[in-house]
């Protein structure tokens, strides 16, 4: 049995992908333990077929297009022209992909596209879509399109290695499997034979003697070649073993082809390595495991994501499965994590110290990678408040931005001001920004009051929260009085001037604009004198709450009518 231990996040993407392939194949030649997977190397004989079975299930273009077309048809009932255009654009795009490989099927799609002008009803559009999907589900068509998708996804992570070379783009599925077997699997199987000889020997001399016997008895030129190389390395004491997978030879190097997002061209960057090392030897097995990373990651748009945890393998698989499920249901992972932390307060601190959220995107040879640890202050906020403020943010997009920055420990004052400006432009309610302002206040209180007694901290909290609430009510009152005096058209202009002063931290300009506005509606500004002084730490919170009140309108879903 070969043992794969959980390692760093990048390695774990490959291990999780490898596990999902084996699970999909329903083989009993592997076992999952707390921190590792044991598997019988015999399963590698069938692995190329299992790899592509799972890849075709994951990336089937026919299935993906069916889901897309059903969505388009649903929306076409209310916006016919727009979604009719989307459907025919998709047909044209597929036609272009098939013309060279399958010209007959490409011609069929060309004829289907030519009917566009004659489609004027939803029933006619459904007929076109049905014919389109029927063609996509033909085995030959789906194979060509899905192989293109598989090659694209693998190419983003491994460049142009093996069958991913451009000159091999016209290979069929069985030819892809043959390359995977020849370039990835066969070297591992050969190494297992040599390793078996070494493991049965008791000394270096005996190892060399046994290897010579194996070479003499074998008719396989590849095994003879590997045996001779191993003998040479043994004699020179240069036989290396993989630093990641115990007991495996290190006969290849960690290059961009192994895992592009995490690799460096060492030959041109020896100043980054210990002792000017030009190579980083790894095993062929590790190379195969990393080739499975596409199945351990989740891609949303241009961004790949992975959740790393220091717990056991089951927890790693479960949290990433939940991540995928939430994404497919259009629920951002931040929402899932937020709900989990609210419910499991006793586990919140453990999660903050043992969970890493990795996101990256590739652009040519450049990788932008973000590693997000959960903020301890966010954990304390959730333990103390249970998310009372966050739960009142109704606009999903804004709520998700605040959630993400809250969990990562980032400041989100700028996001509040951006949303305030958006609310004015689109006539949305600003109560969400007030809830976000309260969240920001609580986080600041937790940071600033660290080490204070509970009594002192609560006294400061009560006083500040009252002032923030008064600012919200003042904003609402100003709006009411301006409306009563038929001056509501002045509200956007006043808001923009106050927002400009707030975002540039021009406290004097903010107070002067506020003073003139309050004078217009006969209100007292005494509470804002101290808040706008240079030394005040309350300015951002009180100003944001005031602007939220000034623009507080009945809630409307973005892009929809009032409830």
Per-residue pLDDT of 119-169, as tens digits, reads 999 999 999 999 999 999 999 999 999 999 999 999 989 888 899 999 999
pLDDT average, residue stretch 99-118: 92
Pairing of β 355-363 and β 303-309? antiparallel
pLDDT tens for 233-249 read: 888 888 888 889 988 98
pLDDT average, residue stretch 436-461: 72
559 pLDDT band, cuts 50/70/90, is: very low
| Of 278 and 145, more confident | 145
Q: CA 373, CA 109: separation in Å to the nearest integer?
A: 49
pLDDT average, residue stretch 438-443: 85
Least confident of 9-13, 203-207, 268-272, 466-470: 268-272
Interior/surface letters 229-256, b for 16+ CB within 10 angstroms, e for the rest: ebbeebeeeebeebebbeebbbbbbbbb
Q: What pLDDT, on a 0 to 100 scale, did the predictor assign at position 295?
A: 95
Pairing of β 30-32 and β 36-39? antiparallel
Looking at the predicted structure, is the pLDDT value of residue 280 above 90? no
| Of 186 and 488, more confident | 186
Q: Across the chain, what does the average pLDDT equal? A: 85
Residue 361 falls in which region: left (phi positive, over 0), alpha (psi -120 to 50) or beta: beta
Structure tokens given for 254: 């960690």
pLDDT average, residue stretch 298-312: 86
Contact 560, 428 (CB under 8 A): no
Angle (CA) 548-553-559 rounded to 5° is 105
Q: Which residue has the tokens 């049905």?
A: 130
Residue of 142, 95, 140 lying closest to 114 (CA atoms): 95
pTM exceeding the 0.85 threshold for the entire prediction? no
pLDDT tens for 14-41 read: 999 999 999 999 999 999 999 999 999 9
Hey, which of 50-59, 212-221, 262-271 has the most confident mean pLDDT? 50-59
């Amino acid at each position: 049995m070969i043992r794969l231990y959980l390692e760093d996040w990048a390695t774990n993407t490959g291990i999780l992908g490898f596990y999902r392939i084996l699970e999909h194949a329903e083989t009993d030649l592997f076992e999952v333990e707390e921190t590792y997977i044991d598997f019988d190397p015999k399963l590698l004989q069938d692995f190329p077929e299992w790899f592509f079975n799972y890849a075709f299930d994951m990336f089937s273009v026919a299935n993906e297009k069916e889901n897309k077309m059903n969505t388009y048809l649903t929306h076409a009932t209310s916006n016919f022209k727009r979604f009719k255009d989307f459907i025919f654009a998709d047909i044209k795009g597929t036609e272009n992909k098939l013309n060279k490989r399958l010209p007959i099927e490409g011609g069929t799609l060309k004829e289907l596209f030519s009917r566009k002008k004659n489609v004027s009803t939803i029933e006619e559009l459904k007929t076109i879509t049905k014919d389109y999907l029927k063609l996509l589900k033909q085995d030959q068509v789906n194979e060509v399109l899905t192989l293109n998708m598989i090659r694209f996804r693998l190419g983003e992570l491994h460049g142009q290695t093996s069958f991913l070379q451009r000159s091999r783009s016209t290979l069929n599925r069985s030819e892809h499997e043959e390359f995977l077997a020849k370039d990835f699997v066969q070297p591992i199987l050969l190494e297992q034979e040599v390793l078996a000889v070494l493991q049965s020997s008791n000394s270096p001399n005996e190892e060399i003697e046994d290897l010579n016997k194996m070479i003499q008895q074998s008719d396989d030129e590849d095994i003879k070649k590997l045996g001779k190389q191993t003998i040479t390395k043994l004699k020179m004491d240069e036989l290396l073993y993989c630093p990641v997978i115990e007991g495996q030879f290190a006969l290849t190097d960690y290059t961009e082809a192994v895992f592009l997002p995490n690799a460096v061209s060492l030959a041109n960057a020896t100043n980054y390595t210990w002792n000017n090392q030009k190579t980083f030897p790894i095993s062929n097995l590790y190379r195969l495991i990393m080739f499975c990373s596409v199945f351990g990651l989740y891609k949303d748009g241009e961004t790949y994501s992975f959740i790393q945890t220091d717990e056991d393998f089951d927890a790693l698989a479960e949290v990433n499965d939940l991540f995928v499920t939430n994404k497919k249901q259009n629920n951002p992972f931040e929402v899932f994590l937020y709900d989990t932390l609210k419910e499991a307060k006793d586990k919140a601190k453990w999660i903050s110290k043992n969970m890493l959220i990795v996101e990256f995107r590739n652009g040519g040879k450049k990788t932008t990678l973000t590693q997000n640890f959960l903020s301890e202050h966010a954990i304390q906020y959730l333990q103390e408040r249970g998310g009372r403020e966050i739960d009142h943010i109704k606009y999903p997009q804004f709520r998700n931005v605040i959630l993400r920055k809250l969990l990562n420990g980032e400041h989100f004052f700028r996001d509040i001001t951006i949303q305030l400006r958006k609310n004015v432009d689109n006539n949305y309610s600003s109560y969400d920004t007030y809830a976000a302002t309260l969240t920001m206040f609580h986080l600041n209180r937790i940071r600033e009051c660290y080490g204070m007694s509970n009594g002192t901290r609560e006294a400061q909290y009560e006083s500040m929260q009252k002032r923030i609430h008064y600012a919200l009510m003042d904003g609402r009152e100003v709006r009411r009085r301006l409306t009563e005096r038929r001056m509501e058209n002045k509200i956007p202009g006043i808001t923009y001037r106050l927002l400009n002063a707030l975002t540039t931290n021009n406290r004097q300009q903010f107070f002067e604009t506020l003073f003139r506005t309050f004078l217009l509606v006969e209100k007292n500004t005494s509470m804002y004198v101290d808040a706008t002084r240079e030394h005040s730490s309350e300015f951002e919170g009180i100003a944001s709450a005031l602007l939220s009140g000034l623009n507080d309108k009945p809630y409307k879903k973005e892009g929809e009518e009032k409830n």
